[in-house]
Amino acid sequence: MSEPILELRDLRVSITEHPDIQIVKGVDLTIRPGEVHALMGPNGSGKSTLANAVAGSPAYKLDSGQILFKGEDVTAMTADARARMGMFLSFQYPTAIPGVTMVNFLREALKARRGQEMPAREFLGELRETLGTLKMDESFARRYVNDGFSGGEKKRAEILQLGMLKPDLAILDETDSGLDVDALRTVAEGVNALRTPHIGILIITHYQRILNYITPEVVHVLVEGRIARSGGAELALEIEENGYDPILRELGAVEEVVS
């Protein structure tokens, strides 16, 4: 069995500005190369907090636990150091950067990722190849980053970054948020086109619909900062059919017994 790309050990996370508010309350999670994991849960369960804490956002404080990335303890590392190592976070609400083209943004990002600048011809060749894989027009790369982009275009821009940076771990935080059916299918097809046996993917979502197009090996349900249940892809279908109420009732019954 291959070594894990990501291991979370009893991770507990609070808000930096409000350290008395703990949101993630002891999460254990292991993702191996080639695996797609889906993290689902009701609003306010801590899914995005977990994603941002793993990526190293300073907005969140690690109270205890460990984050191991490719076998190395990155718990104390900054976000940019984790990104250079091969960790990628697709934002729920990508920021617009007027005046900076996708081409220039991607070239600088690759320079930071690889530690050296790619020759222009090699970079453009790789960019065209990635655009082709994702079935995106080359004109897209000449636009300013997320400036005037639709919701679907912003998410496609994130997937283009994923394709160019070739990370070892991709965390997709509610990539399906705000997308219509056609845009969702396009983004999902892009993710599937970039799946390799070497990358681990964590998809964070409220709904099962993106999992109609990207089939996960494992589905986790996060409730009040804890993983309440894990299972196969069928668990997402169960949630789609019954909602989270059965799991919440089951969790409440367990907590009553424990108390």
Question: Would you say residue 146 lies in a domain?
Answer: no
pLDDT in tens, 65-117: 999 999 999 999 999 999 999 999 998 788 999 999 999 999 999 999 988 99
Distance CA 4, CA 1 (A): 9
Q: Tokens at residue 34, please? A: 């080639």
- Could you report how far apart the first and last alpha carbons of the chain are, in Å? 38
Question: Would you say residue 164 lies in a domain?
Answer: no
What total of structural domains would you count in the chain? 1
Question: Would you say residue 63 lies in a domain?
Answer: yes
- Per the structure, the complete domain to which residue 203 belongs is given by 6-94+169-258
Counting Cβ atoms within 10 Å, is residue 252 exposed (0-12), middle (13-18) or buried (19+)? exposed
Question: Would you say residue 194 lies in a domain?
Answer: yes
Place of tokens 């050296």: 116
pLDDT in tens, 203-249: 999 888 899 999 999 999 999 999 999 999 999 999 999 999 998 88
Question: Would you say residue 31 lies in a domain?
Answer: yes
Question: Would you say residue 159 lies in a domain?
Answer: no
Question: Would you say residue 222 lies in a domain?
Answer: yes
Question: Would you place residue 62 in the very low, low, confident or very high pLDDT band (cuts 50, 70, 90)?
Answer: very high
Question: Would you say residue 131 lies in a domain?
Answer: no
User: Model-level pTM?
Assistant: 0.92
CATH code for the domain of 221: 3.40.50.300
